[in-house]
Amino acid sequence: MGAGLVRAGGREPAARDVPSGTLLYTADGYMSVHMAGEDRPRFGTRTAAEGDPPHKVAAASTYVGYCGEYEWLGDRVVHRVTVSFFPDYVGTELVREAELDGDRLTLRAYPPSVRATRPTPVLVWRRVPTTRPGRAPDDTGHSV
């Protein structure tokens, strides 16, 4: 299943600027997620390695990306991280409360944040229909 990010925010229904994002779950148990803030300034270089430190810091502070295996456990999904932009995620399990409503998947960090100054992250994803040629649809009409 492939999904595009619809809304990101602290506590529902409050939302902040919606980043761009893609979340993938494969039938054989692998997942990948990438999210980037809107209007990220370009480095103006050929490669990321050539960027100056302020550009690299700005880029790093507006990007999240990781992948690994996943497992559904009732109303939660566990992401077992094997590769991540943030090195401290590698080898961890990120648990998300999951609610599927039609083509929308809402993920909330678990356990929820108990500190009033740090709201529980909420991401709402929408399943992307198969519209591009060369993609094999499953029995629901979505790419697999």
Residue 57 CB-half CA count within 13 A: 3
The two structure tokens encoding residue 68: 């690994």
In contact, 66 and 84? CB cutoff 8 Å: yes
Q: How confident is the model at residue 11 (pLDDT cuts 50, 70, 90)?
A: very low
Classify strands 2-9 and 76-84 as parallel, antiparallel or unpaired.
unpaired
* Digit-coded pLDDT (tens) for 105-119: 999 988 765 555 667
Instruction: Say which amino acid occupies 96.
Output: R
Mean pLDDT of the chain: 80
Decide: pTM greater than 0.85: no
